Amino acid sequence: MKLKNKQPVKADTKVRRTEKIKEKGRKGSFGRTLKSDGAFPYLCLLPSLIGVLIFFIIPFCVIIYYSMVDNPINKEFVFLQNYINIIKNTAFRRAALNTLTFSLSSVPLAVVLSLLLAMLLDCKIPFVSQFRTSFLCPMMVPVASVVLIWQVIFHYNGVLNDFLANFGVDKIDWLKSTKGQVVIVVLFLWKNLGYNMILFLSALNNIPKDTIEVATLEGAGAFYKFFRIKLRYLSPTILFVTVLSLINSFKVFREVYLLTGDYPYDSLYMLQHFMNNTFRNIDYQKLSSAAILMAIVMVAIIGALFIAENKFGEDVEG
Amino acid sequence: MIKSKTAVSAKKRRGSLSKKGQKILMGVLTVFAAAAALIFLLPTILTMANSFMSASEINANYGAIFAKTEEGGKTFISEKINLKFIPDMVSFSQYYTVLFKSPDYLFKFWNSVILVVPIVIFQLAVASLAAYAFARLKGRLKEIIFFVYVVVMLMPYQVTLVPNYLVSDWLGILNTRWAIILPGIFTPFAVFLLSKIMRRIPFSLIEAAKLDGAGELQIFIHICMPLCKSALFSVAILVFIDYWNMVEQPLILLSDTSLYPLSVFLSQINTGEIGLAFAVATIYMIPTLLMFLYGEDYLVEGIAYSGGIKG
């Protein structure tokens, strides 16, 4: 068993080595390859680059400018005043706090639960492909279509309260109380676990089998193998899934909006609601400072995650 | 000596989970997975099942949820909500009404199609060219540009919609479909995914093609594209589902509600003609579910490739 495994691995490293050599050779003759490549690759990049510049980068720079002047007509430089205003704004605070609470509770859950699902499908149970299909299915169902059923389930007179009444639990108005956050965490997990699970499944498949086998022979228990070996190989994927879930957690507005409309219960008032309402009276200063504040926070969080992952997974990469 | 001892103990440990024990464990895990699968599938199945109910049956079952508290309504609405798996009588009347009697929903469906299809096609076209460039080019400048793309990709709609709104305003395309389509085409998501896949194409293949006298364009069309066929398909599915679901963009970039796609409009019929809602919801699922049915393997492959930002 072990021997059989080893041979393809060896062949693989050989291929990789030759590729590396080639890569080096290519780098060495950079000028020449560039010449023979011609301008074609640059031309290929052009349409996309122009589009990204026009629709994202240039207006973003203008927005930075807008966020630092007092109004679009007067254009007096006020530096951070708009940012101070937005941070003091109660609606923005509520929206930011709600979004933060939601992301902080849903992202870790999404990572852990999808890893568990992936490990479940990784232990050679029957019907794996059918299970995979059904876990992945919610991702392909439009939010708007399935929102009806969520309403039936989470309504005050709905199915969930009916069910809980059997256990003597009092009725809860799920969507119009502080429990609203619980509901959207559930909806978020329902939709996103499948995608994350696929990422973890492919990462689990890529863990070198002989490392695990050596550990088993050396008498390592299942827990040791998981925490000390597998988790380290999984760490880049954990990072990716965390970042992806974070980005997707901002999209939960879709569910909230379709369930509760423009003015939901306080605990469900998300950043996108704030933006929508600010767009309605087109306050460029408010909009641009809010957008840039969010962008900075996103970059900071993702940067921190990268640094953490680099420290944790150092010795297994490459 | 020591090694052999540990090996023996390991064997013992493995032995302790006898075949019988392992079978029971597998059984438990399978049951657990099946229960989870049921939860994942149920909402979709329920929506479909309910679309075959007649209007009166839906009113009787779910009226309490969707009815507004109007005094003196004609129909009696029970307080209780009955979630039903199987309709009392299978009826296609809802579909008949949606398809032949109330063209509004079909218009909104068409709105969705006319927004999403151009985005998917042109995003793929622009992105496959750009991805090819990123896979072929080397050097610092390329790395910086790619990094900028990744940062743009990571930004949520709350951030990117403000620049989009600004540009649409400048170009005078606010409140037209272009305001959604154009930024959609240049969203860097597909570039990122495709360039990760194209980088895996062995350099020797391109080198060989060059020796045979193939030009860059020929290499792109005849070598790169065929090798990326399944990747293109999976990216197309991912982009399609994301835009088929869009809510944020139309709310902000379109003020004319007649241009709204069905994804936004569907929530607005809930209160009115609830009988139709399930049928419309099911119709709206069909394109994405069909894609899933035919393209699941491509999709899984594409998702697996997307892992790892650093790539």
Per-residue pLDDT of chain A (318 residues; tens, 9 = 90+): 333 444 444 444 444 444 444 444 444 333 334 445 578 888 999 999 999 999 999 999 999 999 998 877 777 888 888 899 999 999 999 999 999 999 999 999 999 999 999 999 988 888 999 999 999 999 999 999 998 889 888 888 788 888 888 888 888 888 888 888 999 999 999 999 999 999 999 999 888 888 888 888 888 877 888 888 888 888 889 988 999 899 899 999 999 999 888 888 888 999 999 999 899 888 888 999 999 999 999 999 989 988 888 887 665 554
pLDDT at residue B163, as a whole number: 93
Shortest Cα–Cα distance, B115 to chain A (Å):
15
Complex ipTM, two decimals? 0.85
Shortest Cα–Cα distance, B133 to chain A (Å):
4
Chain A to chain B, count of Cβ pairs less than 8 Å apart? 305
Q: Is the Cβ of B229 closer than 8 Å to some Cβ of chain A?
A: no
Contact A136 B263 (CB under 8 A): no
Q: Is the Cβ of B173 closer than 8 Å to some Cβ of chain A?
A: no
Closest residue of chain A to B23, computed from CA coordinates: A125
What's the 3-state SS for B98-143?
A: HHHHCHHHHHHHHHHHHHHHHHHHHHHHHHHHHHHHHHHCCCHHHH
Contact B216 A40 (CB under 8 A): yes
Select from A130, A150, A198 the Cβ nearest to the Cβ of B300.
A198
Contact B262, B284 (CB under 8 A): yes
Average of per-residue pLDDT across B258-277:
78
**Which DSSP string corresponds to chain B?**
-HHHHHHHHHHHHHHHS-HHHHHHHHHHHHHHHHHHHHHHHHHHHHHHHHTTS-HHHHHHHHHHHHS---TT-SS---SS----SS-SS---HHHHIIIII-HHHHHHHHHHHHHHHHHHHHHHHHHHHHHHHHHH--SHHHHHHHHHHHHHHHS-HHHHHHHHHHHHHHHT-TTSTHHHHHHHHT-THHHHHHHHHHTTS-HHHHHHHHHTT--HHHHIIIIIHHHTHHHHHHHHHHHHHHHHT--HHHHHH---GGG--HHHHHHHHSSS-HHHHHHHHHHHHHHHHHHHHHHHHHHHHHHHHH--S--
Interface test with B, best of A43, A57, A99, A140 (most B CBs within 10 A): A140
Contact B262, B281 (CB under 8 A): no
What angle separates helix A90-122 from helix A128-140, to the nearest 10 degrees?
160
CA distance B95 to B92: 5
Closest residue of chain B to A219, computed from CA coordinates: B10
Structure tokens at B52: 């075959």
Shortest Cα–Cα distance, A56 to chain B (Å):
6
Per-window interface: B 252-291 vs A, CB < 8 A: 252, 262-264, 266-267, 270, 277-278, 281-282, 284-285, 288-289, 291
Residues of A in contact with B306 (CB under 8 A): 199, 240
CA distance B190 to A6: 36
Shortest Cα–Cα distance, B190 to chain A (Å):
11
For residue B198, is it left (φ>0), alpha (ψ between -120 and 50) or beta? alpha
Residues of B in contact with A236 (CB under 8 A): 307-308, 310
Select from B3, B6, B133 the Cβ nearest to the Cβ of A45.
B133
